[in-house]
Structure 1
Amino acid sequence: MKNQIAIGCSSFYNRFWKNIFYPRNLPSKSWFDFYCQHFNTYEFNGSFYKFPTVRVFNNWYNKTPESFLFSIKVPKEITHIKKLKDCEMLLNDFYEVCKEGMKEKLGAILFQFPPSYNFSKQRLDNIIGLLNYDFQNVVEFRHITWWNDEVWKTFKDNNITFCSVSYPNLPVTIFNDFPLLYIRFHGVPKLFHSSYSTEQLHDLNEAIHSKNGFVYFNNTASEAGILNALELKRMHTK
């Protein structure tokens, strides 16, 4: 990807989107195919809940268009349970499955840490020491202590992207000076539900002009996510 923003959602199997995005008579088994006709990327969150296999990723690879890109979320066993402790082999296995399963359709690798995971120098060093820099690594924090100059400088020095988030009670900052621009819209004030206004999306579109990366809408507990993604895509492709 060079000077290209890929816009998509963090889920697709959504009954709220029927008659709004998915045609009334379209069977649910065809929803992802329809999604791929309108978007060129998908943030795969299923790997967060269940460690993926090459076979599963090959299936996703085979049913998407040639230019499609997946961003893959790291399993919660690594980020939430072990919190990067004693999981070097597990993380290496995950990287390998992503590489072999998604091939050239692999976009970013997303590490999302829990709100309880606050900043410490040891934790920062642990992240730097464990990540595989052959991949496009993106790290999302949900504790405000990570919003600091030491983290940002260390990430830039090691080619890691600090994830921009729209999340209740976290700073609304679009970080566009990291290797990738990677933004996740989770819904504010109501997490996973709230929609973003046309004005907010217009300001976002101005901020991401001529950048390289991904924008995903995770406010998918309602129809908001798909409507926001479609509106931003229309703005960005004008």
Structure 2
Amino acid sequence: MKNKILIGCSSYNNRYWKGIFYPDNMAGKDMFQFYYQYFNTYEFNGSFYKFPTIRIFENWYNKAPENFIFSVKAPKEITHIKKFMDCKNLLSEFYQVCELSLKEKLGCVLFQFPPSYTFTPERLHTIVQNLDLKFKNVIEFRHESWWNEEVWEIFLKNGITFCSVSYPNLPQTIFTQFPLIYIRLHGTPKLFYSSYSSKELLQIKNAICLKSGFLYFNNTASEAGILNALEMKKLMI
């Protein structure tokens, strides 16, 4: 991937998008095939709620066209329950499932920590020590204490990407110094609902247009996510 930003959404089966993006009468089972005619990446979040299997991901691999890329979110058992403690085997199994089933269609592996997970040097060390650095690892924090130079320096040294996140009450920094751009737009001020203005999208575009990476819209609890994604796609042409 050279100087290319892949744009997509963090969900696609969405009744709010009927008549706006999908045809009014489209069944849910046909939505992904319609989605990938417009977008060449998808952020798979279902794996956060249920540990994935090779069979499930192979099914997604077979459904997607050539040159389609999946980014995959790690299970909450790893990030929210165990918080990377005593989960080497779980992590190894998760990486293996992603690699064996999604193959060349695997993009980034996303680890999103809860807002209660605050920065400590020990936690930073635990994260880095547990990651398999041969993958494109992206870390999303939801507490402002992680926005600090020590974290960024160690991530850069180890080839880990710090997720740029648009989330209420967090810094809106667009990070461009890491191995890849990885942006998650969740909607602000109303989480998962709020739309981004044309001006906001243009500011993001200007910051990343000469870079490579991924941009996902997760403001999908309304029609905002798909409309923003379509507009951003036009801006990046």
Report TM bin, short chain: over 0.9
Matched, 1:190 2:190: yes
In the other structure, the counterpart of 1:15 is 15
Q: 1:192-221, CA deviations, whole angstroms, 9 ceiling, x for partnerless residues?
A: 000000011111111111111000000000
Q: Percent identity?
A: 65
In the other structure, the counterpart of 1:45 is 45
Q: Secondary structure at the match of 2:55?
A: helix
Q: 1:56-112, CA deviations, whole angstroms, 9 ceiling, x for partnerless residues?
A: 000000011100000000000000000000000000000000000100000000000
In the other structure, the counterpart of 1:144 is 144
> Structure 2: how far apart are the matches of 1:147 and 1:81?
23
Q: Which runs of 5+ in 2 are unaligned?
A: none
In the other structure, the counterpart of 1:161 is 161
> Structure 2: how far apart are the matches of 1:142 and 1:50?
21
Corresponding letter in the other structure for 2:177:
D
1:28: how far off? Answer: 1.8
Q: 1:18-55, CA deviations, whole angstroms, 9 ceiling, x for partnerless residues?
A: 00000112222100000000000000000000000011
Q: Secondary structure at the match of 1:183?
A: strand
In the other structure, the counterpart of 2:103 is 103
In the TM superposition, what are the counterparts of 1:36-115 in structure 2 within 5 Å? 36-115=36-115
Q: Moved runs in structure 1, 4+ residues, more than 4 A?
A: none
> Structure 2: how far apart are the matches of 1:81 and 1:114?
10
Q: Which runs of 5+ in 1 are unaligned?
A: none
> Structure 2: how far apart are the matches of 1:209 and 1:45?
26
> Structure 2: how far apart are the matches of 1:144 and 1:26?
41
In the other structure, the counterpart of 2:122 is 122
TM-score, normalisation: structure 2 = 0.99
In the other structure, the counterpart of 2:212 is 212
In the other structure, the counterpart of 2:179 is 179
> Structure 1: how far apart are the matches of 2:27 and 2:57?
23
> Structure 2: how far apart are the matches of 1:28 and 1:83?
34
Corresponding letter in the other structure for 1:171:
P
Q: Secondary structure at the match of 1:37?
A: coil
> Structure 2: how far apart are the matches of 1:145 and 1:221?
28
Matched, 1:29 2:29: yes
> Structure 1: how far apart are the matches of 2:86 and 2:229?
38
